[in-house]
């Protein structure tokens, strides 16, 4: 099978799974508990929750499973009649999401029904067959009695819940499971598919992945190395994590993160506007490139520390670090006109600390004057200002125009493969002896440092333990020398490498 055929098969499975996966949207006005309910369903703090109304700005998409019943769960931005520009942007995006959903969990606050609630219920009357009415914050007997007045809204069944404490959630989930199963059957029929055909397609893709594992391992053996191919291709996790590579997009507000994410996924999940920081949550999407399925994490703009005054901004910075932990490769978006900021350096340090790959994407490159060797000058300046990133590829792109994006994705796959390389201890120590014979460690006052033994202990992060005759004051420059030799001799030039020094037993 050709690479083009494999790409087509992966893309076909991706399209089919997206097509038949029912969409469940959690909707309602701001601060009625939508994000709290969303987080309870998925079991993590994915959406920012805070007493401030309107904290969730973008629809957040997350695959969720209730027992064995799967759906795409969507936390929408709050519905509001406010004429504020950003509120208008959020509301229009929420309504667009609602129209595409199979099931709507409409969340109300038990303490009050506002004119906004009634306005949007009336607006959604034509979709009433899709709506499940959940009355939230029912956490005492007095509030249980208040639920009855909600029947006047015209719904036969109402689910009183407390998203914070979990009351009523089991009953709501049972109703959701029934509706999700019905929606899945409907979607399968609409696309002229059968459950058997979908399973056969999944089996064929799994077979291709197994072949890829064997090919990768054979190529690696010829180079004298091993690659953790099963972990690389996630063969054992594709049911719960159906992607081949996890990519996070980070950077300062309005550097083009969401423009890039929207272009890659073919959606407009992120709000793109001129207001700095219009993306607060981590948004998750997917797309296919080559024969790989990408998971894409788009994060809130990371501000300088002295501007992080509100809890919300603290949450967003924390979420960005969480995105680093979930990713294998991080794309750090840099504005071509503004360059690398101090905050970019701090985020880059976090990426290196976690042992993830990083690509510096210099965006809006098309807006700069065309000067010979400009990109090399940019690379030299970044490497001078932040030498810890000397291994990181620096690529000029235009997220808006699409230029440089293909190279960005190809580079991310190259980096991912390097991240999962395992070097045999025997080969490593042969190289270590040769490196020291050619370039011995320095000496001080008659004492000669020596590296005795080296072994790789992990991938992602790629970490080595180096045993030396005296760990105290062992020259940092020589550790850097060994790192560089590993990168050069084993074709690992684009990833961070971590070292731990230990004293050998005999000095």
SS (H, E, C) 421-432: EEECHHHHHHHH
Q: Answer yes or no: is 488 a known binding residue.
A: no
Q: Dihedral angle at the C-alpha atoms of 95, 155, 106, 142, nearest 10 degrees?
A: 150
Residues 428 and 369 in one domain: no
Q: Which of 12, 30, 32, 187 is nearest to 100 (CA)?
A: 187
Residue of higher predicted confidence among 161 and 44: 161
Residue of higher predicted confidence among 397 and 198: 397
Residues 402 and 444 in one domain: no
pLDDT at residue 311, as a whole number = 46
Query: How much of the chain, in percent, has pLDDT values that exceed 70?
Result: 77
Token reading at 393: 């590829």
Beta pairing, strands 451-458 & 463-468: antiparallel
In terms of Cβ atoms closer than 10 Å to its own Cβ (0-12, 13-18, 19+), residue 214 is exposed
Is 380's pLDDT higher than 70? yes
Q: Answer yes or no: is 292 a known binding residue.
A: no
For residues 373-400, give the mean pLDDT. Answer: 87
Residues 66 and 175 in one domain: yes
Q: Is 140 inside any structural domain?
A: yes
pLDDT at residue 231, as a whole number = 55
User: Which pLDDT band, with edges at 50, 70 and 90, does 288 fall under?
Assistant: confident
pLDDT at residue 259, as a whole number = 86
Q: Answer yes or no: is 166 a known binding residue.
A: no
The DSSP-derived string for 271-290 is: --SSSTT---SPEEEEEEET
Q: How far is CA 253 from CA 264, 295, 302, 422, in A?
A: 19, 21, 6, 37
User: Which pLDDT band, with edges at 50, 70 and 90, does 123 fall under?
Assistant: confident
Kindly give, in sequence order, each residue whose CB lies less than 8 Å from that of residue 214, ignoring residues fewer than 6 positions away. none
Q: Answer yes or no: is 251 a known binding residue.
A: yes
Query: Which of the residue ranges 61-75, 83-97, 237-251 has the most confident prediction, judged by mean pLDDT?
Result: 61-75
Q: Answer yes or no: is 138 a known binding residue.
A: yes
pLDDT at residue 54, as a whole number = 44
For residues 261-281, give the mean pLDDT. Answer: 55
Residues 359 and 303 in one domain: yes
Q: Answer yes or no: is 252 a known binding residue.
A: yes
pLDDT at residue 388, as a whole number = 86
Query: How much of the chain, in percent, has pLDDT values that exceed 90?
Result: 30
Residues 286 and 409 in one domain: yes
pLDDT at residue 109, as a whole number = 92
Residues 75 and 182 in one domain: yes
Q: Are 180 and 22 in contact (CB under 8 A)?
A: yes
Residues 381 and 428 in one domain: no
Q: Are 83 and 306 in contact (CB under 8 A)?
A: no
Is 305's pLDDT higher than 50? no
Q: Are 110 and 135 in contact (CB under 8 A)?
A: yes
Q: Give the domain-ending residue among 391, 417, 443.
A: 417
Distance between CA 492 and CA 225 in Å, rounded? Answer: 12
Least confident interval from 67-71, 79-83, 409-413, 454-458 = 79-83
The DSSP-derived string for 45-110 is: --S---SSTT---S-EEEEEEETTEEEEEEEPPPP-----HHHHHHHHHHHHHHHH-SEEEEEEET
pLDDT at residue 207, as a whole number = 80
Residues 325 and 456 in one domain: no
Angle subtended by helix axes 342-353 and 311-326, to nearest 10:
40
Q: Is 208 inside any structural domain?
A: no
Q: Which of 317, 294, 304, 313 is nearest to 248 (CA)?
A: 294
Q: Dihedral angle at the C-alpha atoms of 265, 268, 274, 278, nearest 10 degrees?
A: -90
In terms of Cβ atoms closer than 10 Å to its own Cβ (0-12, 13-18, 19+), residue 427 is middle
Q: Answer yes or no: is 79 a known binding residue.
A: yes
Residue of higher predicted confidence among 343 and 407: 407
Q: Answer yes or no: is 480 a known binding residue.
A: no
Distance between CA 115 and CA 138 in Å, rounded? Answer: 20
Q: Answer yes or no: is 266 a known binding residue.
A: no
Q: Answer yes or no: is 257 a known binding residue.
A: yes
Kindly give, in sequence order, each residue whose CB lies less than 8 Å from that of residue 302, ignoring residues fewer than 6 positions away. 250, 251, 252, 253, 316, 317, 320, 343, 347
pLDDT at residue 252, as a whole number = 82
pLDDT at residue 239, as a whole number = 40
Q: What is the largest CA-CA distance in the chain?
A: 91
Q: Give the domain-ending residue among 386, 417, 448.
A: 417
Q: Answer yes or no: is 298 a known binding residue.
A: yes
Is 116's pLDDT higher than 90? no
Give per-residue pLDDT as tens, 395-451. 999 998 989 999 999 999 999 999 988 888 888 999 999 999 999 998 888 788 899
Is 165's pLDDT higher than 80? yes
User: Which pLDDT band, with edges at 50, 70 and 90, does 286 fall under?
Assistant: confident
Residue of higher predicted confidence among 22 and 262: 22
Q: Answer yes or no: is 306 a known binding residue.
A: no
Residues 281 and 395 in one domain: yes
Q: Answer yes or no: is 91 a known binding residue.
A: no
Residues 265 and 344 in one domain: yes
Q: Answer yes or no: is 8 a known binding residue.
A: no
Distance between CA 115 and CA 109 in Å, rounded? Answer: 13
Average pLDDT, the chain: 79
Sign for the CA dihedral angle at 432, 437, 441, 446 comes to: positive
The enclosing domain of 23 has a CATH number of 3.40.50.300
Q: Is 206 inside any structural domain?
A: no
Q: Are 454 and 467 in contact (CB under 8 A)?
A: yes
Q: Answer yes or no: is 101 a known binding residue.
A: no
Q: Is 147 inside any structural domain?
A: yes
Q: Give the domain-ending residue among 417, 434, 457.
A: 417
Query: Which of the residue ranges 91-105, 141-155, 227-241 has the most confident prediction, judged by mean pLDDT?
Result: 141-155
Residues 169 and 284 in one domain: no
Q: Is 176 inside any structural domain?
A: yes
Q: Answer yes or no: is 254 a known binding residue.
A: yes
Q: Is 186 inside any structural domain?
A: yes
Q: Answer yes or no: is 77 a known binding residue.
A: yes
Give per-residue pLDDT as tens, 30-52. 888 888 898 888 875 554 444 44
Q: Is 489 inside any structural domain?
A: yes
**DSSP at 403:** B
What domain count does the chain have? 3
Question: Whole domain around residue 492: which residue ranges?
Answer: 424-503
pLDDT at residue 244, as a whole number = 84
Q: Answer yes or no: is 31 a known binding residue.
A: yes
Residues 390 and 431 in one domain: no
Is 498's pLDDT higher than 50? yes
Q: Answer yes or no: is 439 a known binding residue.
A: no
Q: Is 486 inside any structural domain?
A: yes
For residues 187-206, give the mean pLDDT. Answer: 82
Q: Tell how far CA 33 is from the center of its chain.
A: 24
Q: Answer yes or no: is 267 a known binding residue.
A: no
3-state secondary structure of 368: coil
Query: Which of the residue ranges 10-24, 182-196, 436-450, 475-489 has the most confident prediction, judged by mean pLDDT?
Result: 475-489
3-state secondary structure of 502: strand
Q: Answer yes or no: is 282 a known binding residue.
A: no
Q: Answer yes or no: is 365 a known binding residue.
A: yes
């Amino acid at each position: 099978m050709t690479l083009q055929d494999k790409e087509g098969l992966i893309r076909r499975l991706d399209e089919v799974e997206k097509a038949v996966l029912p969409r469940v949207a959690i909707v309602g006005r701001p601060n009625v508990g939508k994000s709290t309910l969303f987080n309870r369903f998925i079991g993590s703090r994915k959406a920012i929750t805070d007493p401030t109304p309107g904290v969730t700005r973008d629809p957040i998409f997350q695959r969720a499973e209730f027992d064995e019943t799967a759906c795409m769960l969507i936390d929408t931005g709050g519905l509001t009649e406010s004429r504020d520009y950003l509120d208008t942007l959020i509301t229009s995006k929420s309504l667009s999401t609602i129209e595409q959903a199979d099931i709507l969990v409409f969340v109300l606050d038990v303490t009050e029904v506002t004119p906004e609630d009634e306005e949007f219920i009336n607006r959604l009357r034509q979709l009433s067959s899709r709506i499940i009415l959940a009355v939230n914050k029912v956490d005492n007997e007095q509030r249980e009695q208040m639920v009855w007045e909600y029947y006047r809204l015209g719904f036969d069944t109402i689910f009183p819940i407390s998203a914070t404490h979990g009351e009523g959630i089991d009953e709501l989930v049972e109703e959701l499971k029934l509706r999700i199963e019905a929606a899945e059957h409907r979607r399968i029929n609409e696309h002229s598919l059968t459950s058997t055909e979908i399973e056969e397609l999944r089996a064929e893709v799994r077979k291709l992945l197994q072949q890829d594992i064997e090919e990768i391992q054979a190529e690696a053996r010829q180079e004298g190395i091993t690659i953790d191919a099963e972990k690389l291709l996630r063969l054992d996790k594709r049911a719960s994590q159906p992607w081949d590579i996890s990519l996070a997009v980070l950077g300062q507000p309005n550097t083009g993160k969401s423009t890039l994410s929207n272009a890659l996924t073919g959606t407009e999940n992120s709000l793109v506007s001129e207001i700095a920081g219009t993306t607060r949550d981590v948004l998750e999407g997917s797309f296919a490139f080559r024969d790989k399925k990408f998971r894409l994490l788009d994060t809130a703009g990371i501000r300088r520390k002295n501007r992080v005054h509100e809890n919300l901004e603290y949450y967003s910075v924390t979420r960005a670090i969480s995105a680093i932990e979930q990713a294998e490769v991080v794309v750090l978006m840099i504005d071509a006109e503004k360059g690398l900021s101090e905050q970019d350096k701090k985020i880059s340090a976090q990426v290196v600390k976690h042992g993830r790959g990083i690509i510096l994407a210099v965006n809006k490159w098309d807006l700069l004057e065309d000067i010979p060797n400009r990109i090399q000058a940019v690379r030299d300046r970044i490497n001078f200002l932040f030498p810890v990133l000397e291994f990181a590829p620096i690529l000029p792109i235009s997220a808006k125009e699409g230029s440089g994006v293909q190279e960005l994705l190809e580079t991310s796959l190259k980096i991912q493969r390097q991240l999962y390389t395992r070097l045999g201890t025997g080969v490593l120590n042969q190289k270590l002896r040769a490196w020291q014979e050619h370039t011995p460690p320095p000496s001080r006052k008659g004492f000669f440092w020596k590296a005795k033994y080296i072994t790789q202990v992990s991938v992602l992060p790629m970490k080595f333990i180096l045993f030396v005759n005296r760990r105290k004051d062992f020259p940092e420059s020589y550790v850097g020398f060994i790192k560089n030799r590993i990168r050069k001799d084993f074709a690992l030039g684009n990833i961070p490498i971590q070292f731990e020094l230990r004293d050998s037993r005999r000095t």
